[in-house]
Structure 1
Amino acid sequence: MPKHTRSTATLTALTALAVTGLTLGTVLTVPAGAAAPKAPGFLAAKDLPPHATSTWSAGRVTAGVPEVIELDTCLGMALGGGSNTWHREFWTDLDTTARQVSVKASTVSAAKGRYARVNKDIKSCAKRIERAYPEIDASLRDYGTLAVEEGAHVYGLHVESAWGSTDIRLLGVGRDGRTVTVVDWGQMGNFGNAPVKAFKKTTVKAVNKLH
């Protein structure tokens, strides 16, 4: 498991926003005699943006949505709960963490709707954070679309608390057929510390690996 080295103030802000950190996933219960649904393909630790002073580690692909996503201001409404969902956690020895969440919809039309909802929620996320947490300043940057399968989009989110903690987050959303995936990367810092170019490559890999 990763070692958390953030300050108490930073951890408080991240707990409130569910920006980074690791948590146990919710395990889906499969009825007796029923075959467990097959998970889509996931990123490996080597697929994450390189870290300057540490290496990435990866947890197992786990059924369900991690609690930190269910509580998350940006993603919780679109990804929280539901079946046919899997996630994988990634971490370094320092403060950088990431996760991937993938959802298999029942139809292509439903997947299109889920993809649109995730993008919509991310675009409104900064304003919703500031309304919910007056002591937090949040700003979003749209890094554009990516030409992979049925499409992908990358965003950056910066949050700064009144007590001085500052964190940067990159979010990549993509779709291949009935499957929607979200890659969520975060660490202490600001937009200048975000490896946007490398993260775009990670997002493309995430979508290509789904099927």
Structure 2
Amino acid sequence: MPKRTRAGTLTALAVAGLTAGTALCAAPAGATTKAPAPKFLAASELPPHPSGWTAGKVTDGLPDEMRYCFGEALLAYDSRHRTFRTELDTGAEQLTVVVGDSAKAKALAARLDREVKRCVTRMDADPEIEADYRGYGRLPVEEGARVHGFATRAAWGAMDIHLVSVGRDGGTVTVVRWGQMGDFTHAPVKAFKKTTTTAVHKLY
């Protein structure tokens, strides 16, 4: 039998340890891996704008533009968002919330749809603001999406138009908001519906 040196013994032990460690760290057969993070819209996928869009980084939390309408409804959830800018007066945001459970995500999406209408009612109750709501129906994408619109006119003359959609794919909910100065005649509803469909399809 060949004589094993001390160095050879240490090398053999190291190899054995690495092999055992690999076996212990390996995922068991049939184990599920972590689901991928939902994807966000690209700037080119928003309604066309003369100056073009610039997309910000994906950031944790709720964007300031959505806090007034959705802040209370999303207190219990972790969310991520991306903000989009133009060189003029038009802006947009996309928010995603991974609930994980399809039933809970369905309930959250339904609540966010209701919150849009409640938000308009709250704004209209302000003596300094007039607010009008229009529903633009559902879209047949994944588990569905709904498109809303509202216009505001302030006592000092400012007029703004907003389009908001709430969509769901399984246990994930996404909200897209678009806004600029103007009224309902300036709302790119058809293009925004296309953006919403892309946003929901693109999640996974």
Normalization by structure 2: what TM-score?
A: 0.80
* C-alpha RMSD over aligned residues: 1.6
The 2-side partners of 1:104 and 1:79 are apart by: 11
> Retained in 2: the 8 A contact 1:65–1:80?
no
Q: Taking structure 1 as reference, are residues 37 and 87 closer, same or farther at Cα in structure 2, changes over 3 Å only?
A: farther
The 1-side partners of 2:47 and 2:104 are apart by: 30
Alpha-carbon deviations, 1:158-189, whole Å to 9, x = none?
A: 00001111000000110000000000000000
* Partner residue in 1 for 2:48: 50
Shift of 1:69: 2.3
Shift of 1:39: 3.0
> Retained in 2: the 8 A contact 1:170–1:194?
yes
Gaps of 5+ in 1: 1-35
The 2-side partners of 1:129 and 1:123 are apart by: 10
The 1-side partners of 2:75 and 2:65 are apart by: 9
Summarize the alignment of residues 102-181 of structure 1 with structure 2, pairs less than 5 Å apart: 102-131=96-125, 133-181=126-174
The 1-side partners of 2:75 and 2:94 are apart by: 13
Aligned residues: percent identity?
Answer: 53
> Does residue 80 of structure 2 align to residue 77 of structure 1?
no
> Retained in 2: the 8 A contact 1:87–1:101?
yes
Gaps of 5+ in 2: 1-33
Query: Which one of 58, 65, 77 corresponds to residue 68 of structure 1?
Result: 65
How many residues align? The count is 171
Shift of 1:38: 5.1
> Retained in 2: the 8 A contact 1:69–1:79?
no
> Retained in 2: the 8 A contact 1:39–1:86?
no
> Retained in 1: the 8 A contact 2:77–2:99?
no
Task: Determine which structure has the larger helix proportion and give its number.
Answer: 2
Give the structure with higher Rg (CA). Answer: 2
> Retained in 2: the 8 A contact 1:175–1:181?
yes
* Partner residue in 1 for 2:18: none
Query: Which one of 190, 194, 198 corresponds to residue 183 of structure 2?
Result: 190
Alpha-carbon deviations, 1:105-157, whole Å to 9, x = none?
A: 031111011001000111222211122x2110000000000000000000111
SS in 1 for 2:72: helix
SS in 2 for 1:77: coil
Normalization by structure 1: what TM-score?
A: 0.77
* Partner residue in 1 for 2:30: none
